């Protein structure tokens, strides 16, 4: 055993300082995971929002499916739902006012005749003008 102590050790390198990057790697992985999770959440929210039916689409479907066999109720309903789309542009505003004026005789009389073809034409034109 005494022989081993006397042997000089020449092949062992001196201690080298090793930089510790583990805190940076940990912080970077946390930041990257937060970015990925936020991107995924925003993607899901965007898809969910596009799937929902907007208020305008609901109003358009109701406006499109008005029962024209009851002219008095239909005139009030067209006037009410038509206001949703009035401020889209100048053309829809003019079309709504023309339609509104044509519906006046059907609103305030106790008994009304069926809606004439010209007024129905204005109604269908207004339906075509609306951008949903």
Of 20, 8, 71, 94, give the one whose Cα is nearest residue 82: 94
> Between 61 and 15, where is the model more confident?
61
pLDDT at 54: 78
Give the model confidence (pLDDT) of 67-77 as tens digits: 988 999 999 99
Give the model confidence (pLDDT) of 53-67 as tens digits: 778 888 899 999 999
Contact 61, 68 (CB under 8 A): no
Q: CA–CA separation, 53 vs 51, rounded Å?
A: 6
Q: What is the rounded average pLDDT for all residues in the chain?
A: 88
Q: What is the percent of the chain with per-residue pLDDT over 70, rounded to a whole number? A: 93
Which of the given ranges, 32-36, 94-98, 113-117, has the highest pLDDT on average?
32-36
Report, as an integer, the average pLDDT of 12-29.
87
pLDDT band at 19 (very low <50, low <70, confident <90, very high): confident
């Amino acid at each position: 055993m005494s022989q081993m102590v006397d042997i000089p050790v020449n092949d062992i390198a001196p201690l080298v300082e090793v930089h510790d990057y583990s805190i940076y790697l940990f912080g970077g992985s946390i930041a990257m995971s937060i970015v990925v999770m936020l991107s995924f959440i925003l993607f899901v929210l965007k898809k969910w929002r596009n799937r929902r039916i907007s208020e305008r689409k609901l109003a358009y479907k109701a406006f499109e499916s008005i029962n024209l066999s009851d002219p008095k109720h239909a005139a009030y309903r067209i006037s009410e739902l038509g206001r949703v789309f009035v401020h889209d542009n100048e053309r829809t505003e003019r079309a709504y006012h023309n339609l509104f004026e044509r519906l006046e005789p059907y609103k305030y009389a106790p008994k009304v005749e069926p809606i004439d073809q010209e007024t129905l034409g204005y109604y269908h034109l207004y339906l075509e003008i609306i951008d949903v």
